[in-house]
Structure 1
């Protein structure tokens, strides 16, 4: 027989080749077993009731295991995406991510909740979480105020849609803070232009403060800067109106004293033109 005539080297090579063939034949079986195991795990997960997954998530949350709780609610949302428990899971995911400082994830979960369940009783809370998440990311006054604008928009939407909700009072406070920061940013840019004698650009910024943020602490200075800017341009009637409105609303303000002194140097005094946009902006408005 050929096998008997083979030398030791041929025998070893033949044996090695045989073992390799056996291994290769067994590989698909092993892969199949792994795939089967994964499928079994998925099936096992699907067999866990939504209520059980939700209770497990709540238990983890109460134990302070926020990351594990968040993952449990994510599983529930993935397996039972339109169930009643999925609604609660999304709200919990938003809260847990917010608590962990994961604001992008918190906003995403809350927005998804509002998209899927816009009329749900927890919609006000979802909006509040969105507003809070943006609020926590508000930068200092020298930087871009995109996050501040989004915080203000979210709190404003909450107040418009759910004025009687338990979150309305705090949302109103946070909205005032956001508006104050946005007004402060406009003032910063306006002063920049004013220092460079770009009076038209400066007026546009101060005008924004007067029209959009007139209930903030910046409005006094904005009215004085309008007096200053218009006077520098030679538009005296508008300068007089800005000073008059400033004096009417803030008679004891140092900014009014400065505006009065500025006009006096040229022989003028505050005088309101009721047809001016400045005068109209304050009609029926209680500043403080």
Structure 2
């Protein structure tokens, strides 16, 4: 079929239009990926100046721009962790965590790795909830704090981590106690024991361990597992002889004609021996 002159012209314009659109699309995609042509040292100085002015969000974006535009420059590596720090100071913790985690993956063991872990730990620590709520942030904060202590013990951030570790552990122990008491009240003694066991095994240096040993005594007595109850009271009495929890636990055993006694095969005995500053023996 022969095209009329008008129809042929229409086809030509359509073809030209398509080509223009295609070129326009290419130009658009190029525009979005244009990199900053400033030298890396200037970009770093500009970002640092924004930080000094308290413009943390803008500084973070400038550091990220530096990393994208000059990924192989000496300034780019530090820009990643400084972007994380700037985001943290801006209150944007998800972005801070993402940037800091990227640094720890790409540059583990480097000079700024402790700072990156510190930023992650601080972001999660700030998001910690009270003991009756979800403890995901607490666990993640504790994980990062322990990494600082184990991998970078000489860093400033590791030295400052001790108090935060104590707070995080206390929060987790309190959470386990909350759930354990709920199960115990519901007479689900096995589930309760598992919660109290976590406190005695993992959070022995917290104040909650005394009550946990007492609750274990109650649960084991309720189940008729007398030797474990006696061991719990023996450990409690030896290490916390003035504790009200020891007095209550001891009275419970006595009401059944029993006395504290250490079972060397008990998980309680084995767990308590792992504590370097506390010893195991008979009741005080």
Q: TM-score, normalised by structure 2?
A: 0.85
**Equivalent in 122, 126, 135 of residue 125 of structure 2:** 135
In structure 2, the gaps of 5 or more residues are: 1-12, 280-284
Distance in 2 (alpha carbons) for counterparts of 1:126 and 1:225: 40
**Equivalent in 171, 174, 179 of residue 164 of structure 2:** 174
Give the deviation of 1:276 after TM superposition.
1.3
1:1-288 aligned within 5 A: 35=27, 42=34, 45-46=36-37, 48-283=38-273, 285=275, 286-287=277-278
Of 268-277 and 231-240, deviating more is 268-277
Residue aligning to 1:11: none
Give the deviation of 1:116 after TM superposition.
1.6
Q: What secondary structure, in the 3-state scheme, does the structure 1 residue paired with 2:102 have?
A: helix
Q: How many residues align?
A: 260
Distance in 1 (alpha carbons) for counterparts of 2:141 and 2:79: 24
Which of the pair has more CA radius of gyration?
A: 1
Q: TM-score, normalised by structure 1?
A: 0.84
Give the deviation of 1:40 after TM superposition.
11
Write the deviation string for residues 58-99 of structure 1: whole angstroms up to 9, x where unpaired. Answer: 111111222221221121111012321111211111111111
Q: 1:41 to 1:229 in 2, by over 3 A?
A: closer
Across the aligned residues of Structure 1 and Structure 2, the Cα RMSD in angstroms comes to 2.4
